[in-house]
Structure 1
Amino acid sequence: MSKNGAGRSALQQKFQSGALVLVFLSICTLSFSEVIFEERFDDGWQSRWVKSDWKKSEGKAGSFKHTAGSWSGDPDDKGIQTSVDARHTAISAKIPEFNNKNRTLVLQYSIKFEQDIECGGGYIKLMSGYVNQKKFGGDTPYSVMFGPDLCGTQTKKLHVIVSYQGQNYPIKKDLQCETDKLTHFYTFVLRPDASYSILIDGRERDSGSMYTDWDILPPRKIKDLKAKKPLDWEEREYIEDPDQVKPEGYDSIPREIPDPKAKKPDTWDEDEDGIWRAPKIPNPAYKGPWKPKKIKNPNYKGKWKIPYIDNPEFEDDPDLYVLKPIKYVGIEVWQVKAGSVFDNILICDDPEYAKEVVKEIFTHREIEKEALEEAEKAKKAREEEEAKRAREEGEKRKRDRDYGRRHRDKERYRDRYRDRYGKRGRDYDDYHDEL
C-alpha cells in the first residue's frame, strides 16, 4: 500500500507507533524512521501507477494483471503479474522525494516466478529527476537497478547497479538469485558509510562497501610494483635441526642382509653349482638415507606478499553513497515467458521494518508451498492426459494411413490385372462385384 494511499498497513501503524513511544521514552537523539513508499497493490493501486506506452507502437508492449497468481499464501494478497509473452513491460509510480544523504536507504520488494522462465528480468528501478512515465522504458536513466535476471541455465544473476555522476556501475560480485516458483523478497540496504547489505527473504546474503565492490572510485590502496622480496626473507616454516648429528656408522648399514634362516640344500654341489650363498632379505636395521629432524624455523616470516601503498590517484568522495533524490519507482522488464508477480514494494530508511514486512507476509509461507505442490500435481496430470491423448490420436492417424495404403494397394492390383488379362480382368471385377 502506498504511503499516500488509502491508509497504512497494520504492521506499519504498529511498528511506527511503537517506535514513537520508544523514541519519546528514551529521548533518543536519532531521527525517527520513515516509510517513504509502500505498495501492497490493494484496491486503488492503479491511481498511483502509470503504465508506459514504451514499445507500444512496435507491437512489443506487454501488460500487467492484478492477481495473487495461480498459487499463493493468501488469495486476497494481490500483486501485479506480467501477462504477455515476449514483450517489454513497463510501469512506474511517483513517490515522495527521498534524499539518502546521511540516511540509510532500504529498497525491498517481492517477486514470484510462476512461469518456467526461460529468459527475462525481474528487477526494479529507482529513478531521479523528471520522468515521463508514459514513455518510461529501458532507455530511461535510473539511480538504482536491483533484482533477478535469468536466462537459460547459465544466467541466474542478481543485479545491483548504481548510478554515479551519470554513469551506471554494476556490482563486481557474482550474486545469485532464487529460481524456484515461490515468493521471494529481495532487499538492498545502503548506509551513509557507503557499506551495503543484500538480503533474500530477510536473511543477509552478502555485504561489503561501495569502495571495494564497485569500480566507481580508484582503489585506496594499490600493490607496490617496485617492491622486492628482501634477500633475508625466510619463507621456510620448518628447517633441519642444525644440532642433530648423523650417528657414527649410519651409512655402513646395508640395505639387505643374508637370510640367517636359509640353509644350503643337501644336493648343492659346489664343484658344479659354485659357492653357495644365502639369499638376501631386507635388513631390519636399515632406515634409509639419513635425514635430520625438522624444527620450527625461528626466522620464519610467512610467504612474502607484495605490499600495498596509498594510491596516488585515489581521491575520496564522502558522498559516494549519495544518490540523486529519488522521485520514482518502476518495473521495466522483458520476458520470453510472462508470469512474474511483483508485490510488497517498500522504500524506507529502517532495515528492521523491512524485516518485519517479510515476517508478516511469510506467515502464510507453508500455505503457499502447499498450493504450489497442488498446482504442480495438477499440471503434471494435465500433461500426462495431453500426452495420452496425443498418443491415441497418433495411433489413430497411423491406422488411417495403413487403411488408406491397403486400399490404394488393392486398386493398383486391380489395374495391373486388367492390363494383363484384358476382358478376363473385367470379368474378374464383375465376379467380385457380384460377390
Structure 2
Amino acid sequence: MKAVAWLALCCVAAVQAKVYFEEKFDDKWADRWQSSDWKRDKGEAGDWQHTAGEWYGDAEADKGIQTSPDHRFHTIWAEMPEEVDNTGKDLVVQFSVKHAQKMDCGGGYIKLIPTSSKDQMKTFGGETRYAIMFGPDICGFSTQKVHAILTDNKGRNLETKKATTCKTDELTHVYTLHLMPNNTYRILIDNEEAAKGALHEDWDFEAPKQIKDPEAKKPEDWDDRIMIEDPEDKKPEGYDDIPATIVDAEAKRPEDWDDEEDGVWEAPQLPNPDFKGPWSPNKITNPAYKGAWEAPMIDNPEYEHIPNVYKLPLLKFVGFELWQVKSGTIFDNVLVTDDAHYAEAFANATWGASKEKEMEMFNAIAKKKADEAEAKRKEEEAAREAAKGEEKDEDGDSLPQDFEALSRSVISDEEEEDEAHAEL
C-alpha cells in the first residue's frame, strides 16, 4: 500500500509539474551524458563509473555516476530536451550525493548552464559560463558548506551570504534549490529546509542603497577619547625623590671579608616598596566624549534596483565540474522542474525508498571492517608475543615447555638405568 501511495502521489505531481530534466542513471545513461575534453590533454581529467557503490538500498535503482581516480578534475554534462525559461515560474534543481570515500577535500555541486554556452560544452570546465552552481563543498574542517552561486545579468557569479552547512558523512543525501518568482528561495537537504530568505538580501545583486559619505571628515572638535587624564590629579611633593632601591638593613658584613682583597664592603640593595615608578595622573571618564565618529550615510549614486533577480538566462545544459583530492563521490537522481511538490515526491520515491536499507548495509559493513581490524590486531599481537618467546630461546634465558618435559624424561630414564645396575 505504501509503494502504491507513493506512485499515485508521483503521478499526480507529474501531471501538474513541468519536468525539464530527470536522470536516474539507468544502463543507458552514457547515451545522454558526455565527458568534457577539459584537462584531458594534460592527464588531469578524471573518469566516471556506473555503480551503486559498496553500500546501497537497491543495487540497481541506486546506481549513479562515481568520480575516479584521485587528484583529478571531473567534468561531465548532458543536454536538456528543451530550453528552460523560468520567467514567472518556480525553478527547482535537485540531485543526490554520496561521498562514499569520506570526502576530505573536493566539490560535490551541480551546474545549470545557459544556452549561450553551447559552443563551450565540448571543453566544459571551470571557465565555462553557468547560471547556477549548487551543492556541497568540503575541504577539511574549514569548508563544509552548501554552495549556492547565481549569475546576475552582468555575468557576475554571486555566492550567497547566508552560510548553510552540508552533510559530511558517507551516506546518500539530497540537495534541493528552489527559486521563486517573488525573489525568494529555499535550500533543502533531505527534504528538510536548511535555509530560506530573500534573494535581494542574501545575494549582492544590487549595490547598497546607501553608503558612507566618502567626502565627510571628522570635525576637529570631535572628541572620541573614552578616558582622559584627571586634570585635578597632581603629583605628590617629593614623589620623584623616592629611590627605586634601598639598602638591606639586615645585611651584615661577612666575617671573612678583607677590604684589601675584596674591596670596601657595601650592603646589598633591595627593591623599595614605596617606589611606584614614573608618576602619571589617574584616568577618568571623558565628559566630552561623543562616541566613535562615523561618516554619515548618503544615497548611493551607483544603486540600481533590479526587480527580477530570480530570473535566469535560458538554460539548456546540466553538468558536474569539480576537483576532488580523493575520488569516489556518487551522483544520482538529477531533477530540474518547476514544481517543488514533484521534487519532494521524487526525492522520497528515490532516496527516501533506499535510505533505511542503505544505513543498515553501511552499518553492517562498518561493523565487519571493525571486527576484521580487531582480529588482525589480536593476530599481530599474538605473533609479537611468539616472536619474543623465540628470542628468549636463542639467548638461553628460557626453555619452551616441551623441551623441559623432554629433559625430565631423559633424567628419569637415566635414574631407572642406575637402579637396574645397582640390583645386578
What range is the shorter-chain TM-score in?
Answer: 0.5 to 0.7
Secondary structure class of the residue paired with 2:30:
helix
Deviations along 1:339-382, one digit per CA (max 9) or x if unpaired, are 11100100011111111112212023211110110111122233
User: Equivalent residue for 1:124?
Assistant: 110
Code of the residue aligned with 1:39 in structure 2: it is E
- Aligned match of 1:150 in 138, 144, 149? 138
Question: For the residues of structure 2 that align with 1:341 and 1:394, how far apart are their CA atoms?
Answer: 41
- Aligned match of 2:163 in 168, 174, 177? 174
Tell me which moved more, 369-378 or 356-365.
356-365
The alpha carbon displacement at 1:314 in A equals 2.4
Deviations along 1:266-299, one digit per CA (max 9) or x if unpaired, are xxxxxxxxxxxxxxxxxxxxxxxxxxxxxxxxxx
Deviations along 1:145-164, one digit per CA (max 9) or x if unpaired, are 10111111221011011111
Question: For the residues of structure 1 that align with 2:384 and 2:124, how far apart are their CA atoms?
Answer: 49
Code of the residue aligned with 1:144 in structure 2: it is I
User: Equivalent residue for 2:342?
Assistant: 353
User: Equivalent residue for 1:366?
Assistant: 356
The alpha carbon displacement at 1:222 in A equals 6.1
Aligned pairs for 1:184-195 within 5 A: 184-195=173-184
Matched, 1:100 2:102: no
Give TM-score scaled by structure 2 length. Answer: 0.65
Gaps of 5+ in 1: 1-8, 20-32, 227-305, 407-435
User: Equivalent residue for 1:59?
Assistant: 43
Q: What RMSD, in angstroms, separates the aligned Cα atoms of the two structures?
A: 3.1
The alpha carbon displacement at 1:16 in A equals 4.7
User: Equivalent residue for 1:35?
Assistant: 19
Taking structure 1 as reference, are residues 310 and 335 closer, same or farther at Cα in structure 2, changes over 3 Å only?
same
The alpha carbon displacement at 1:313 in A equals 3.6
User: Equivalent residue for 1:256?
Assistant: none
The alpha carbon displacement at 1:398 in A equals 8.2
Taking structure 1 as reference, are residues 321 and 48 closer, same or farther at Cα in structure 2, changes over 3 Å only?
same
The alpha carbon displacement at 1:67 in A equals 1.0
The alpha carbon displacement at 1:43 in A equals 2.1
Is contact 1:120-1:335 (8 Å) kept?
Answer: yes
Code of the residue aligned with 1:123 in structure 2: it is Y
Code of the residue aligned with 2:65 in structure 1: it is I
The alpha carbon displacement at 1:311 in A equals 5.0
Is contact 2:73-2:322 (8 Å) kept?
Answer: yes
Secondary structure class of the residue paired with 1:14:
helix
Question: For the residues of structure 1 that align with 2:382 and 2:38, how far apart are their CA atoms?
Answer: 46
Secondary structure class of the residue paired with 1:130:
helix
Q: Percent identity?
A: 43
Question: For the residues of structure 2 that align with 1:328 and 1:389, how far apart are their CA atoms?
Answer: 55
Taking structure 1 as reference, are residues 225 and 42 closer, same or farther at Cα in structure 2, changes over 3 Å only?
same
Code of the residue aligned with 1:369 in structure 2: it is M
Aligned pairs for 1:36-435 within 5 A: 36-77=20-61, 78-95=63-80, 96-128=82-114, 129-164=117-152, 165-220=154-209, 311-361=300-350, 362-388=352-378
Taking structure 1 as reference, are residues 332 and 18 closer, same or farther at Cα in structure 2, changes over 3 Å only?
closer
Question: For the residues of structure 2 that align with 1:197 and 1:340, how far apart are their CA atoms?
Answer: 24
Give TM-score scaled by structure 1 length. Answer: 0.64
Gaps of 5+ in 2: 1-5, 216-294, 396-424
Is contact 1:112-1:181 (8 Å) kept?
Answer: yes
The alpha carbon displacement at 1:50 in A equals 0.1
Taking structure 1 as reference, are residues 315 and 338 closer, same or farther at Cα in structure 2, changes over 3 Å only?
same
Deviations along 1:47-77, one digit per CA (max 9) or x if unpaired, are 1100123222222211111111111111111
Question: For the residues of structure 2 that align with 1:146 and 1:17, how far apart are their CA atoms?
Answer: 24
Code of the residue aligned with 1:102 in structure 2: it is G
The alpha carbon displacement at 1:395 in A equals 7.2
Is contact 1:51-1:133 (8 Å) kept?
Answer: no
Code of the residue aligned with 2:118 in structure 1: it is Y
Taking structure 1 as reference, are residues 391 and 344 closer, same or farther at Cα in structure 2, changes over 3 Å only?
same
Secondary structure class of the residue paired with 1:367:
helix
Secondary structure class of the residue paired with 1:359:
helix
Question: For the residues of structure 1 that align with 2:190 and 2:20, how far apart are their CA atoms?
Answer: 21
Question: For the residues of structure 1 that align with 2:358 and 2:120, how far apart are their CA atoms?
Answer: 37
User: Equivalent residue for 1:249?
Assistant: none
